[in-house]
Chain A
Amino acid sequence: MITRSHWKTVLGTLFTALMLFPVYWMVNVSLTPTGDLRRSDPNWFPTDPTFEGYDAALSQQLPALGTSLGIGLGCVALTVVIAAPAGYALAVLNLRGGRTLNFLLLVAQMIPAVVMAMGFYAIYVRLGLLNTVWGLIVADSTIAVPFGVLLYTTFMAGIPKDLVHAARIDGAGPWRTFTRVVLPVSRNSTLTVALFAFLWAWSDFIFASTLNRSGEFVPITLGIYQYIGNNTTQWNAIMATAVVASLPAAILLVVAQRYVAAGVTAGAVKD
């Protein structure tokens, strides 16, 4: 049996390598000297690595990275502030009409972002919110809020009722019960929601490319896009920026893999 299991490990590694080849390729191209980029038989390995791509990327895209970080954090704050109390109302306080609300949230997740982008554009153009970081934070949060509420609701519905009752008997009002009992117990849900809210805001392209096209502060996704449009010869710089833009995802996968998987399957299957 040992040999059979080894054989599976080898096969599994092969599949994973195949799957991750584009990621490897991105790193490889980012290290390729500009002169070698236009060869018809590209180098398979960065035998002659250069950091000129990274130099160009960091010198030009650092502000965009900062903007994306700010937008991501703003989006996390907004999402948690709205989703956590709503989950509490739905799961613990038995909000009336909860089923309808849940359905609306489900439908909300199905609305194409391009439709939301047009709606926001029409509103922002009148309010002067186009090309602002705040406008983008609000738009990006629409991706995460329905997901956050549903995730919190599922988790909070599983909190033992005794815990909530005990708090009430001790004289805690709904607010105290929420902040002192329910929220601390839901720490992992908060981490999952925060993680996804950040990642989605960081990765967003549609809202950025429609609502913040000519803003002073553009996020990194738009930075890359404009890069592609401007200098198609310097693919090492584009790929270097792409590598840097992938770092949050990589870090989160290493640090918080458990929460990532929890988010993907949130409520998908349960006993």
Chain B
Amino acid sequence: MTTTSVDPAGRASDGGAAGPGPAAPARDGRRRRNPAGAARRWTAIGFAAPLLAYLAVFYAYPLWRNIELSLHDYTVRAFVQGDPAFAGFEKYAEVFTSNAFGPALVNTALFTLVSIAFQYAIGLALAVFFHANFRLSGVLRALFLVPWLLPLIVSSSTWAWMLNSDHGIINSVIEAFGGTQINWLTSPDTALTAVIIANIWLGVPFNLVILYAGLQQIPAEVYEAASIDGATAPQRFWRITFPLLRSVSAITLLLGFVYTLKVVDVIWIMTTGGPGDASLTLAVWSYREAFGTGQPDFSPAAAIGNLLILIALVFGFVHLRMQRTWERS
């Protein structure tokens, strides 16, 4: 079993999970120096040309503009006229020394780590549960995809209404059981918890689908042998399922991390990062600086964005290394 890359066909919009990318196909290394070979090479380049042009214009150029934004002092006026003053790393220093930096960093860590821990645990439990085929299991598993397919604005606004202090169903249930009203989205103590709950809900389907696919790769004979040896269900899980799922788990968690890191919509729609900075993550902070207030401040926003890219890049390399290791083993 080789794990290549997963693309959490992601909630591209940065939602809970994102999409997986298949791995590089095996390529034959022989290079023949003949005219036909040269012609084939040019043909290959020709077919790839639209993609190469696309990546240059719609990926590299925006990213380069983003770096440029972070190194200049872009005001709205400078934006339109194109004459910003060069600022060097000043904007980065501003970000690091800002009062929001500490909370944003802590919130980002909590939001991503708590989200993926629960998404993974619940996803794995459900995958094991659904793995034992029973009546309707296929249909029910398909229904589990629904949260992941809905537009984030739809699920986020539904959660926001469910968590509404006075008219939300969740508080209504809590009060029915004798609890007191919780100001989920408006209290600094619970805002982060509230968005994490919604985000866990969003990410479970992705974890379930990937881990379920991983489970199906474990040969049935392994389990048969184990049950002949008299292994109990927990033993089967901890001694067989869990270790054999190691590589799939690693990839799921890694991609979960990278995709949760960049979530903006869920938080922005539910709390706009507030109250105050209570649910502000780095990605939301970046969005807020650039687009969230009447006073766009693109330079620090771009600096925060580049910081996020740097973190994602580190994990991209980790991903590649893990993939290489598994291909070798």
Interface string of A87-111 (1 = CB under 8 A from B): 0111101111011011111111111
The binding surface of chain A is classed by DSSP as: helix
Interface: A41 (CB within 8 A): yes
User: Which residues in B have their C-beta under 8 angstroms from that of A85?
Assistant: 47-48, 50-51
Q: What is the interface of chain B mostly: helix, strand, loop, or mixed?
A: helix
Question: What is the minimal beta-carbon distance from A140 to any residue of chain B, in angstroms?
Answer: 8
- How distant is the Cα of A19 from the Cα of B202 in the complex, in angstroms? 10
A-B contact pairs, 12 of them (CB 8 A): A95-B48, A107-B312, A112-B261, A112-B286, A114-B283, A121-B298, A125-B79, A157-B25, A203-B12, A228-B269, A250-B149, A269-B213
Q: Does B287 contact A (CB under 8 A)?
A: yes
0 or 1 for each of A208-235: is its CB under 8 Å from B? (1 = yes) = 0110010000001100110010000001
B128 to chain A minimum Cβ distance, whole angstroms, is 12
Confirm or deny: B104 has a beta carbon within 8 angstroms of a beta carbon on chain A.
no
B253 CB to closest chain A CB, in angstroms?
13
Interface flags for A20-39 (1: CB within 8 Å of B; 0: not) read 10110110010000000111
* Cβ-based interface call for A187 (8 A): no
Q: Are B50 and A108 in contact (CB under 8 A)?
A: no
State whether the Cβ of B1 lies closer than 8 Å to any Cβ in chain A: yes
Query: Is B154 located at the chain interface by the 8 A CB criterion?
Result: yes
Closest to B165 in A: A40
Cα distance, A69 to B204, chains bound together (Å): 28
Residue pair B152, A205 in contact (C-beta under 8 Å): yes
Assess the B130–A12 pair: CB atoms within 8 A.
yes
Cβ 8 A contact of B20, one of A38, A89, A145, A268: A268
Q: For residue B126, which residues in chain A have a CB less than 8 angstroms away from its CB?
A: 15
B33: interface (CB < 8 Å): no
Size class of the A contact interface (CB-based, 8 Å): 35 or more
Residues 65-122 of B at the A interface (beta carbon under 8 Å) = 65-66, 68-69, 79-80, 82
CA distance A209 to B290 in the complex (A): 11
**Contact indicator B167/A263 (Cβ below 8 Å):** no
Q: Is the CB of A239 within 8 A of B306?
A: no
Partner of B129, one of A15, A38, A270: A15
Q: A115-B63, A264-B20 are in contact. Are A16 and B143 (CB under 8 A)?
A: yes
Contacts A106-B319, A150-B22, A264-B20 aside, 4 further interface pairs with beta carbons under 8 A come to: A109-B21, A111-B63, A112-B309, A267-B6
Contact in complex: A119, B158 (CB < 8 Å): no
> Taking CB as reference atom, which chain B residue is nearest A157?
B25
User: Across the interface, do A265 and B213 meet the contact criterion of CB distance under 8 Å?
Assistant: yes
- Given A15-B126, A111-B312, the answer on whether A118 and B13 have CB atoms closer than 8 Å is no
Q: Is B7 in contact with A109, judged by CB distance below 8 angstroms? A: yes
A62 at the interface (CB under 8 A from B): no
Nearest to B8 among chain A residues (CB) is: A264
Docked-complex contact A266 and B9, CB < 8 angstroms = yes
Q: A118 vs B301: C-alpha distance in the bound complex, in angstroms? A: 8
- A82-B50, A82-B54, A116-B62 given; A266·B151 CB < 8 A: no
In chain B, what residue has the closest Cβ to A155? B22
Is B137 touching A12 in the complex (CB atoms < 8 A)?
yes
A60 at the A/B interface (Cβ < 8 Å)? no
In the assembled complex, which residues on chain B have CB atoms less than 8 Å from the CB atom of A174? 40, 43, 47
Query: Which are the 4 A-B pairs with shortest beta-carbon distances?
Result: A119-B62, A267-B22, A154-B22, A157-B25
